[in-house]
Structure 1
Amino acid sequence: MDEQRGSGGGPPLWWWHGPTWWNRWGQADRASRWPWRSTVLVTVFVLAGSNFAARQQADERAHLDVFARVLLFVAAALLLWRLRHPVVVVFGTAAATMLYLGAGYPYGPVFVTFALGCFSAIVAGDRRAAWTALGLLWAGHVLVAHWLYQWLPPSGDAAASWGSEGVVAAWGIAIVALAELARTRREQWAKERAEQAQAARRRADEERLRIARELHDVLAHSISVINVQAGVGLALLDSDPEQARTALTTIKAASKEALGEVRQVLDTLRTPGDAPRAPAPGLDRLPELVEQAASAGLTVEVEGELPKLAPGTDLAAFRIVQEALTNVVRHSGSRHARVCVEHGDGTTLRLRIDDDGPATGGDAGGSGNGLAGMRERAAALGGTIEAGPRPDGGFRVLAVLPLTVKEIR
């Protein structure tokens, strides 16, 4: 098959992905290709080489005539269809070669046409057809060379030696072995490309899930705060305008922060691989989170020392606490929550978020994407999330995230 060059006139693509005729992009793609140049080159080589062989074997084999040249041309021209119809080509070249040899014409490049047809059939996956055509050609050659030669041209021809039959068989096996090696290598490349494509799709899915999780956590928390403050502002708009102003100020601050975080998440879509413009949030922003919860009417008590963690663990811990407090605001009748941070053994970080309930309009822990997102964040780090009602009432979210010694500095 004709070689394809890379874009911009670069080197042939097969230097990286292998020869183009080893790659199978699908039967439709293969069928749409016509190997014109290679077929023309083979045809010229077969015709010229056969003329040279005829001069060398002038006293032993029949002279090339019009019929011989037609057989040579047909055998070579059939290779033009070797990608579209490999089975037809391998049997066609075998028949043309057998007729050529049976007519007593000189040995020579005619075998090249069958070798290429056999090679293409095996690489295309039609192994049985290629092996059958090879066996028929060899059996026909044995029949002609050791029995029918008495009645076939040239006159006075003697039987061929069995040693020459062994050489012909060895060459045939070598061609088939090389084709099988090419087919195996092509299948390996196809498998590797499929695995790479699957890995790329998996990475894209994971990235979409991460972005969806980030957007959910940012928007759910901010909109919950805005919703509460909007309700307060509407209720106090006439009776206490100053308090209503405070609520509107809180709404403005929460919406501004939400817009900033959403913009940061979306920037990763526009410029993948670039460093974020602002650092990802972590537990160092827990006081800010407590203040936002307080503006929504929720008093949060924090226990334990806030550690300095690796960025991935720090972000996951912050988002878990943020989502848990958001669920308290949205789903719990309690106006008090406790956040306990423990990392005494240096191998795990334990985050416990409690509220006293009761649930309003649903369970206190929330449902759907919130808890699922928390579990996905923990699982990505090899941790766990336990969420459910407490025996003494209320709701508890317990996150256990693994740490390395280097993570707590």
Structure 2
Amino acid sequence: MTAPPRLVKWLPVAYTVAVDVAAAITATLVYFTFVELTHGPVPLGYVVAFFVGAPLAVRRRWPLAAYSVVVVAQNTATLLHITLEVYTPTLFALYLVAVALPRRRSTVALLGGLALTAVCVTITEPWPDDLGITTFVWLLMVTTWALGWTTRVRREYVGKKAEEEAERALTEERLRIARELHDIVAHSLTMITVKAGIANHVADDHPAEAKEALQVIEKTSRATLTEMRHLLGVLRSSDTPDLTPVPGMSDLPTLVDRAAMAGVPVTLTTTGTTALPDGVALAVYRIVQESVTNVVKHAAPAECTVKITTTDTTATVEVTDNGRGERVLAGGNGHGLAGMRERVAMYNGTFTAGPDPRGGGFRVAAELPFA
């Protein structure tokens, strides 16, 4: 049986508060004992002893105020010859001052405590004992402050590192979502635009072809809505993710059929029997999808060839066509090639895209290692 989340959240806080309260009670009782050992039951001594220990209970809430009261009370106890130890309550309070406050403020607090301690010890102790005691107490106070300041620096570094990691993760997630949206919407809208243009052109003279084009538009729209619902379901889910399978190698024949409906025959060749990890399979699918979409958008009418080779360590994708070789419309700045390059970079792979050097058309090649 697990503890309630609220209880788990407050356990560390309760622990630290308990430590401080225990330290306050212990210091107060110890100094009560010192009062009785040095002067007997003196009311003023008990008051000073209370202010030496009690502020430690709230040192996390008011670190500077607690330290100020403790260091003044402890040095008052020194003047009254009550202090019989090395300023442990002061050290306990000073540590949190160094942790909680900026360096300049904590340094001023340290120097004030050092000066007050030196004066009080010099007044109460004979030479050269006062010099030795002052030096020893100063050494302890400076060391305690240094430990606290080091802790503060380390926590600031860890916090900054965590913020940078969160910012990088957020940026990567935004890019991933942008890639998915682009690949889903761009491909489908290209198919719909092409077929809508055909339907509009032949509606009067060839109604059968117009009807066929409208059927393609309907199928493509439905498929796009399904993918969009899946993506939005994943984004909206906070507890149970949408476990609908993401597109992969098995969905490539459907993608090829859609391209053929848009007037671009695609020859698909798959070599190798290795089952790809889901992430790699999705990357391969999106690369082929974007490449074929670009052929439909910028090179049709053309023929397209898709070759996919898989091994135990690598997936290789090559998409070529015999179109005009252009992939960016005049005045346009598409994100398709950049998105493919980013997908490949996630796996430290290689990506090339440009006119096919073997003669005409355009070639996209990607290699994704995944071992």
TM-score range, shorter chain: 0.7 to 0.9
Within 5 Å, give how 1:253-272 maps onto structure 2.
Answer: 253-271=219-237
Q: Deviations over 1:18-70 (max 9, x none)?
A: 84799xxxxxxxxxxxxxx959x949964x765543332238xxx8466x677
Offset, 1:236: 1.8
Offset, 1:371: 0.8
Within 5 Å, give how 1:117-156 maps onto structure 2.
Answer: 117-123=93-99, 124=101, 125=103, 126-146=105-125
Offset, 1:274: 4.7
Q: Structure 1's 312 and 106: CA in aligned 2 closer, same or farther, altered over 3 A?
A: closer
Does the residue aligned with 1:324 lie in a helix, a strand or coil? Answer: helix
TM-score scaled to structure 1, two decimals? 0.72
Q: Structure 1's 371 and 360: CA in aligned 2 closer, same or farther, altered over 3 A?
A: closer
Larger of the two Rg values belongs to structure: 1
Q: Please say if 1:401 is aligned against 2:368.
A: yes
* Residue pair 2:71, 2:113 contacting (<8 A) in 1 also: yes
Which segments of 5 or more consecutive residues in structure 2 lack a partner in the other structure? none
Residue 101 (structure 1) aligns with? 78
* Residue pair 2:183, 2:336 contacting (<8 A) in 1 also: yes
RMSD of the alignment, in Å? 4.1
Does the residue aligned with 1:215 lie in a helix, a strand or coil? Answer: helix
Distance 2:185 2:259 in 1: 14
Does the residue aligned with 1:301 lie in a helix, a strand or coil? Answer: strand
Q: Structure 1's 403 and 92: CA in aligned 2 closer, same or farther, altered over 3 A?
A: closer
What letter is aligned with 1:135?
Answer: L
Residue 309 (structure 1) aligns with? 276
* Residue pair 1:98, 1:140 contacting (<8 A) in 2 also: no
Q: Deviations over 1:65-86 (max 9, x none)?
A: 66x6776677678779966875
Within 5 Å, give how 1:264-303 maps onto structure 2.
Answer: 264-271=230-237, 274=240, 276-303=242-269
Q: Deviations over 1:337-392 (max 9, x none)?
A: 2223345x76433322122332679459x843211110111111221221112343
Within 5 Å, give how 1:187-206 maps onto structure 2.
Answer: 187-206=153-172
* Residue pair 1:331, 1:361 contacting (<8 A) in 2 also: yes
What letter is aligned with 1:122?
Answer: A
Does the residue aligned with 1:279 lie in a helix, a strand or coil? Answer: coil
Q: Please say if 1:53 is aligned against 2:34.
A: yes
Q: Structure 1's 69 and 263: CA in aligned 2 closer, same or farther, altered over 3 A?
A: same
Offset, 1:107: 3.0
Offset, 1:99: 4.5
Q: Deviations over 1:120-163 (max 9, x none)?
A: 322234553354234324422442134xxxxxxxxxxxx4883x
What letter is aligned with 1:232?
Answer: I
186-195 or 245-254: which moved more?
186-195
* Residue pair 1:222, 1:258 contacting (<8 A) in 2 also: yes
Aligned with residue 239 of structure 1, among 186, 205, 213: 205
Q: Percent identity?
A: 31
Distance 1:193 1:212 in 2: 28
Residue 339 (structure 1) aligns with? 306
319-328 or 299-308: which moved more?
299-308
What letter is aligned with 2:234?
Answer: T
Aligned residue pairs: how many? 363
Distance 2:53 2:256 in 1: 82
* Residue pair 1:118, 1:134 contacting (<8 A) in 2 also: no
Q: Structure 1's 112 and 105: CA in aligned 2 closer, same or farther, altered over 3 A?
A: same
Q: Structure 1's 95 and 115: CA in aligned 2 closer, same or farther, altered over 3 A?
A: same
Within 5 Å, give how 1:345-356 maps onto structure 2.
Answer: 347-356=313-322
281-290 or 130-139: which moved more?
130-139
* Residue pair 1:230, 1:251 contacting (<8 A) in 2 also: yes
Q: Structure 1's 19 and 194: CA in aligned 2 closer, same or farther, altered over 3 A?
A: farther
Distance 1:383 1:110 in 2: 63
Offset, 1:212: 2.2
Residue 294 (structure 2) aligns with? 327
What letter is aligned with 1:319?
Answer: R
Offset, 1:172: 5.7
Offset, 1:272: 5.4
Q: Structure 1's 178 and 115: CA in aligned 2 closer, same or farther, altered over 3 A?
A: closer
Higher helix share: 2
Residue 114 (structure 1) aligns with? 90
Offset, 1:217: 0.7
* Residue pair 2:36, 2:42 contacting (<8 A) in 1 also: no
Q: Structure 1's 378 and 80: CA in aligned 2 closer, same or farther, altered over 3 A?
A: same
Q: Structure 1's 89 and 331: CA in aligned 2 closer, same or farther, altered over 3 A?
A: same
